[in-house]
Amino acid sequence: MTKIESKIPEGPLAQKWTNYKNNQKLVNPANKRKIDIIVVGTGLAGASAAASLAEMGFKVKNFTIQDSPRRAHSIAAQGGINAAKNYPNDGDSVYRLFFDTIKGGDYRSREANVYRLAEVSNSIIDQCVAQGVPFAREYGGYLANRSFGGAQVSRTFYARGQTGQQLLLGAYQALMRQVNEGNVDLHTRTELVEIVIVEGKARGIITRNLITGKLERHFGHAVVIATGGYGNTFFLSTNAMGSNGSAAWKAYQNGAYFANPAYVQIHPTCIPVHGEFQSKLTLMSESLRNDGRIWVPKKKEDAEAIRAGKLKPTAIAEEDRDYYLERRYPAFGNLVPRDVASRAAKERCDAGYGVGATGLAVYLDFKDAIDRLGRDAIEARYGNLFQMYEKIVDENPYETPMMIYPAIHYTMGGLWVDYELQTNIPGLFAIGEANFSDHGANRLGASALMQGLADGYFVLPFTIQNYLADDIRTPRMSTDLPEFEEKEKMVKEKFEKLLSIKGEHSVDHIHKELGHVMWDFVGMARNKEGLQKALDRILEIKKEFWTNVRIPGKADGINLELEKAGRLADFIEIGELMARDALNREESSGGHFREEYQTEEGEALRRDDEFAYVSCWEYKGDDKEPVLNKEELKFEFVELKTRNYK
C-alpha cells in the first residue's frame, strides 16, 4: 500500500501554521508574472483564490460553467459564517472553534488542518468587512452574531439569510477587479472536461466551450480544482442543477485519491419532496433552529389524521407534541449537529409519526418565538426564508408550523489533499468543498463558507508558492504537446460515443433512477446488504446509461443534454465509489450511519480502533476495482470521545 504523506508541519498545534509559513518557499514578484495558475470554479474558494493569486502577481486563468462567476452555488448558502472572534464574550476561542469542528466532524478530520482553519477564521471576517460585505449589525454599529448547531457559543456572522450570496459577491468583486486589471483571464460558460498531466505533474486542462461546443486547451504551471461537491449524485439535493463532481472525478481518474466519498451531509431542515417531477430540494437555513422548535405529534392517531388532511397542526395541544430533539438531547436541544438532527427526524417518521401528505416531514414551529419576540423580530431575522417557504409550499409559516425533512446537502468527502491542499498529483490542488479536508465525517453549520474562504484567501495563496517556487524555471508550455493532444482526442471520442447511443431514456430519467438507489441504500441509514444491492443496481444503471441514453443534437454548439450526460456519466461512477466506501467503513461516524453499528439508544457507534483513518481511493482503470489507501488519523491534542450532545 502506498504511504500517504500529509505533510503536517512540526511543532505544537497552535504553532504549526506559523512554522509552516515561516519556513515555506516563496516566489518573488518578477517570477510570479511568468507563472500561470489555472483555477477551475468561481465559488467562494475559487473566486477568492483566483483574486488573491492575481493580486499577488500570478497570471490566473479562471473557469466557470456559469454565465458569470457570481452564479456559483456558494451564493445559496443562507445562514452564516463562523469565526472565533468571541465578540459576544461568551467564551469562544480559536481552540474552541477547532475543538467544536473536530468533535462535530466526529473525529474523522486532521487536527492540524482544522486548527489552521479556526486560526484564519477571524481574518476572513476582517477581509469581508473591508470588502463591503453588509453583515448584520447591532444598534451600536458592531457586528451581530447568532448561534448554529454543534456549538454552545454564538460565533456565526451573517448577512440576513443571504450570507453566502454576500460573501460570494465580495469575492466575485475582488475577482472582477483583477479581471479588469488584466491579471485574470476569465472563461465563463466553459467546462473542464479533462486534466492534462505532463511528466507526472498537472500542467493544464481541456475545456469545452458550452456555447460553441469547441474543445480548448489551457496550460497552467499548477491547476486548482474548486468545483464544489458531488451531492447531485442523488439527483434530488439542495445543490444547484449544474453542480457536479466531474472536475474532481477527472482528477481521480488521473490518479488523485478520492477521500471519504461516503461522507455526505444530510441537512435536517429542507422543504419536503412534493412529487415525481421535482427537480431539486430547497434548504431552509439551519439558523431557523435558533428560534424554531422541532416536533411531531406524540400520538400516532394525530399524525395519521394530519396526513389525511383531517387535522391541523395548530389544533394539537402542547402536551400532545413531542419535541423529540429537546427530549433526547437536552443540552443542545434543537441545535444538535445536522447528522444527529437528520437521523432523529428519520427515526420519528419511520416510526410512523411523520406529518405532511407523504408522512415524510416534521414540524419546525415558530409560535413560541413569535410569542416571545414578536412577529417583527422574527421577520427581521428570517423574513426572506419565510417568504421563500410560502412561495414554495403555499402556507404561511408565521401562522402554521413549517414542514421540513432531511435532504442531501453537502459532501464532506472529496479529493484527498495534504496540509498544503495539494492532491497526490504534484501541481494539482483542491480547495473548498471539492477537497475532503477539515470537516471529517460531518460539517457544522456555517463552516462551509469559512472553509471555502479560508482555503482561497489565506491558505492556498501561501501553500501553492511552496510548490511553484521550484517551477520558476519552467517556461509556459505549448498546448500542442502530445499530452494535450491525446486528452483532447479522448474527450472528443467520449462525446461522440455519447451522441451515438441514441437510446430511449433522457439523461434526467436515468439520473433519477440513480438518485433513488442512492437515497434508498446510500442515504441517511446504510447497511451491508443494502450497499451491496446498491453496487449491483449502480452497475445496471451504468450499463443502461451507456447503451440506452438519448441525447438529441450535436457536439458543436449549445447542447444542454450532452453537458448533463457528461456529468451523469461521472455521477454514476461517483455513486459507485460512495457505496463502496460506505460498505468498507464498518462503523457509524458523522454523516455515515451504518445500521449495524449503533448504540442501544440508536446513537452512532464509532469504531476508532479500526476506522480512525481517511479512506483514500485510488483509481486503477475503468473495469478494475479501486484500491483503498489509508491515511491514519493521529489525535495528539484532543481525546477521542463519543460525541455527546445530551
Partner 1 sequence: MEKTINLKLKVWRQDGPKAKGHFETYEVKNISTDSSFLEMMDVLNEQLIQEGKEPVAFDHDCREGICGMCSMYINGHAHGPDEDVTTCQLHMRKFKDGETVTVEPWRSAGFPIIKDLMVNRNAFDQIIAAGGYVSVGTGGVPDANAIPISKEDADEAMDAASCIGCGACVATCKNGSAMLFVSAKVSQLALLPQGKVERARRAKRMVAKMDELGFGSCTNTGACEVECPKGVSITNIARMNREYLMAKFKD
Residue 185 DSSP one-character state? E
Site string for partner 1, 320-359 (x = CB under 8 A): -------------------------------------x--
Give the binding range for partner 1 (CB under 8 A) out of 65-73, 226-234, 244-252, 327-335.
65-73
Q: Please, are residues 236 and 230 in contact by the beta-carbon 8 Å criterion?
A: no
Residue 238 DSSP one-character state? S
Pairing mode, strands 258-259 and 414-415? antiparallel
Grid cell for residue 452: 471555502
Q: Does 277 bind partner 1 (CB under 8 A)?
A: yes
Query: Cα angle vertex 249, ends 248, 254, to 5°?
Result: 100
Give the binding range for partner 1 (CB under 8 A) out of 293-301, 318-326, 416-424, 504-512.
504-512
Please report, for the chain, how many H helices and E strands are present, in that order: 19, 19
Per CB under 8 A, contacts with partner 1 among 107-126 are 122-123, 125-126
Give the binding range for partner 1 (CB under 8 A) out of 322-330, 502-510, 603-611, 628-636.
502-510
Q: Does 378 bind partner 1 (CB under 8 A)?
A: no
Give the binding range for partner 1 (CB under 8 A) out of 219-227, 273-281, 324-332, 410-418.
273-281
Q: Does 127 bind partner 1 (CB under 8 A)?
A: yes
Give the binding range for partner 1 (CB under 8 A) out of 201-209, 390-398, 493-501, 568-576.
390-398
Nearest Cα to 525, choosing from 599, 582, 446, 447?
582
Q: Does 73 bind partner 1 (CB under 8 A)?
A: yes
> Is 348 marked active-site?
no
List 369, 388, 441, 578, residue binding partner 1 (CB under 8 A): 388
Q: Which amino acid is at 219?
A: F
Q: How far apart are CA 259 and CA 416, in angstroms?
A: 5
- In this structure, is the dihedral angle defined by the CA atoms of residues 511, 516, 517 and 518, taken in order, positive or negative? positive
Q: Least separation, in Å, of the C-beta of 37 and partner 1?
A: 15
Q: Which amino acid is at 425?
A: I
Of the two residues 230 and 619, which places its CB atom closer to partner 1 in the complex? 230
Grid cell for residue 469: 517556487
Give the binding range for partner 1 (CB under 8 A) out of 140-148, 316-324, 467-475, 594-602.
140-148
Grid cell for residue 211: 456555447
Of the two residues 279 and 478, which places its CB atom closer to partner 1 in the complex? 279
Q: Does 179 bind partner 1 (CB under 8 A)?
A: yes
Q: Does 506 bind partner 1 (CB under 8 A)?
A: yes
Q: What values do phi and psi take at 165, rounded to 5?
A: -60, -50
From 108, 160, 203, 338, the catalytic residue: 338
Q: Please, are residues 269 and 148 in contact by the beta-carbon 8 Å criterion?
A: no
List 39, 51, 448, 499, residue binding partner 1 (CB under 8 A): 51
List 11, 12, 132, 352, residue binding partner 1 (CB under 8 A): 132
Q: Least separation, in Å, of the C-beta of 550 and partner 1?
A: 6
Of the two residues 123 and 474, which places its CB atom closer to partner 1 in the complex? 123
Q: Least separation, in Å, of the C-beta of 67 and partner 1?
A: 6
Q: Does 278 bind partner 1 (CB under 8 A)?
A: yes
List 20, 98, 107, 135, residue binding partner 1 (CB under 8 A): 135
* Residue 265 Ramachandran class (φ > 0 left, ψ -120 to 50 alpha, else beta): beta
CA distances from 6 to 88, 248, 416 (A): 36, 19, 10
List 11, 330, 552, 602, residue binding partner 1 (CB under 8 A): 552
Of the two residues 90 and 508, which places its CB atom closer to partner 1 in the complex? 508
Q: Least separation, in Å, of the C-beta of 563 and partner 1?
A: 11
Give the binding range for partner 1 (CB under 8 A) out of 11-19, 135-143, 340-348, 623-631.
135-143
Q: Does 143 bind partner 1 (CB under 8 A)?
A: yes
Q: Does 296 bind partner 1 (CB under 8 A)?
A: no
Of the two residues 483 and 508, which places its CB atom closer to partner 1 in the complex? 508
Grid cell for residue 614: 481517511
Q: Does 509 bind partner 1 (CB under 8 A)?
A: yes
List 1, 22, 89, 309, residue binding partner 1 (CB under 8 A): 309
Q: Does 637 bind partner 1 (CB under 8 A)?
A: no
Interacting residues of 371 by C-beta distance below 8 A, sequence separation 6+ = none
Q: Does 66 bind partner 1 (CB under 8 A)?
A: yes
Of the two residues 105 and 164, which places its CB atom closer to partner 1 in the complex? 164
Pairing mode, strands 613-618 and 258-259? antiparallel
- Tallying the residues shown for the chain, one arrives at 646
Size of interface with partner 1, in residues (CB under 8 A) = 84
Q: Does 459 bind partner 1 (CB under 8 A)?
A: no
Grid cell for residue 588: 457509524
Q: How far apart are CA 165 and CA 172, in angstroms?
A: 10
DSSP helix/strand/coil, 427:
coil
Nearest Cα to 569, choosing from 504, 494, 516?
494
Q: Which amino acid is at 85?
A: K
Q: Which amino acid is at 4?
A: I
Interacting residues of 568 by C-beta distance below 8 A, sequence separation 6+ = 507, 510, 511, 514, 545
Per CB under 8 A, contacts with partner 1 among 574-633 are none
Per CB under 8 A, contacts with partner 1 among 147-176 are 159-160, 162, 165-166, 169, 172-174, 176
Give 244's strand partners. none
Q: Does 29 bind partner 1 (CB under 8 A)?
A: no
Per CB under 8 A, contacts with partner 1 among 78-97 are 85, 87
Quick one: the chain helix, strand, coil %, rounded to 5?
45, 15, 40
Q: How far apart are CA 308 and CA 355, in angstroms?
A: 9
Of the two residues 233 and 260, which places its CB atom closer to partner 1 in the complex? 233
Task: Specify the residue for cell string 443540552.
Answer: 331
**Torsion, Cα of 240, 242, 246, 247 (10° steps):** -90
Per CB under 8 A, contacts with partner 1 among 469-488 are none
Q: Does 437 bind partner 1 (CB under 8 A)?
A: no
Give the CA count within 13 Å in the CB-facing half-sphere of 439. 37
Q: Least separation, in Å, of the C-beta of 235 and partner 1?
A: 12
Q: Does 457 bind partner 1 (CB under 8 A)?
A: yes
Give the binding range for partner 1 (CB under 8 A) out of 227-235, 269-277, 576-584, 621-629.
269-277
Site string for partner 1, 232-251 (x = CB under 8 A): ------x-xxx---------
Structural element, H or E, at residue 38: strand 36-40
Q: Helix 111-131 and helix 16-23: axis angle, to 10°?
A: 80
Task: Show which residues are catalytic.
Answer: 338
